[in-house]
Amino acid sequence: MANNIELLAAYFTIAGDVYPLGPTELSPFPFRDRIEAAARAGYRGVGLIHEDVMATAGKIGLPEMKRILDDNGIKYVEMEFLLDWFADGERRRESDKIRAEMLEAAAALGMRDLKVGPGFHDPVADIPRMRDEFAQLCREAADHGTSIVLEIMPWSNVRTIDTALGIVEGAAQPNGGILVDIWHLARGGIDYNEVSKIPAQYIGAVELDDAPKNVVGADLWEDTIHHRRLAGEGDLNPPAFIKAVQAAGYKGPYGVEILSAEFRKLPLEEMARRSFETTMRQFEKLAVAA
C-alpha cells in the first residue's frame, strides 16, 4: 500500500527557520533549492505560501517557477492561506487583494488547491454567509483551474466537522472541500472516526504530523507553531488517523506539515528527508497490520 502513497511537503515543513505570523514568513532558502530538496527526498507535491510566492515571482517570474516544479516532477502544488474571504470592510478588501494574487498564481503554477482559513474574530460561524461566500470563492477558483479547501481549527469558528460540512457541503461545489489535519482534529477533541461523516468528494486535503499527548506551551497557538513532531514521534497515532481517512474514501496525496522550533533549524536536505521518511513509515505500519 505504501508504494501507492504520494506525499506533499507543506510550506513550513521545508521553509526553514520561519513560522506562521512570525517576523517574516519568507523562506531563507531559494525556491529552486526547496523544490529540488523535496523531489530528492521523494515528495511529489509541495506547499507554498502567498507572501513567499509573490516575492519569488518578483525575482524569477511565475513561468520560471512552473518550469522548476515541472523539471522536478512535482505533480501537486498548494498555496496557503486566505483569511477573511467572508468578511466585510477593510479586512475583506485586503483579503480580496490577496485572493486575486493567489488565483493568478494558481492558474500559472497549475495548483491543486488553495487553503483557506476559518474565522478567528467571531466565536460562532455564520454558516449561511460562509456557505454562500465559499461557493462564490469556489466558482472563481474553478475559473483558474484550482480547488478550495477549508481547514478545521480548534480555536476558530470552524472547529467541528459538522460546522465545516454546513459550509462546504452546503455550498455544493465540485472543487470545494474540507482539509483535515491530524493535529487540529486531535487538539480539538475530534475522534478520527468522525471523518466518516464527510462524503468522500468533500475531503479535499489531508495533513499529517504528530504531537505530544498534552498541549505544550501557553496555548494551542504556541503549541501548533512550535511543538509539532514528525509523524510517529508523538502520541497522536498517525496510522489510526490514516486508516480513518482511507475508510472515508480519500485517495489523494497526503500533506506533511511540521511546525517545530527545533526541526525548522535543521539543514534543508535533512528536513525534507526526515519528514518524508518518518511519514512514509506510518503507511508501512498500516500495511503490515492489514
**Model confidence pLDDT, tens digit, residues 60-110:** 999 999 999 999 999 999 999 999 999 999 999 999 999 999 999 999 999
> Could you give the number of structural domains in the chain?
1
What tens digit of pLDDT does each residue of 15-26 get?
999 999 999 999
Range of the domain at 47: 7-289
In a domain, 87, yes or no: yes
pTM over 0.85: yes
In a domain, 13, yes or no: yes
Asked whether 168 and 76 are in contact (CB, 8 A), the reply is no
In a domain, 211, yes or no: yes
- Alpha carbon 15 to its chain's center: 14
**What's the CATH code of the domain at 271?**
3.20.20.150
Contacting residues for 88 by C-beta, under 8 A, at least 6 apart: none
Determine if residue 203 is left, alpha or beta; phi over 0 gives left, psi from -120 to 50 gives alpha, anything else beta. beta
d(CA 132, CA 159): 19
Q: Quick one: cell of 243?
A: 486508516
Q: Any idea which of 1-5, 32-36, 104-108, 166-170 has the lowest mean pLDDT? A: 1-5
In a domain, 252, yes or no: yes
Phi and psi, residue 113, nearest 5°: -160, 165
Q: Quick one: cell of 10?
A: 507543506
d(CA 76, CA 229): 23
- pLDDT at position 122, please? 82
Phi and psi, residue 145, nearest 5°: 75, 25
- pLDDT at position 290, please? 60
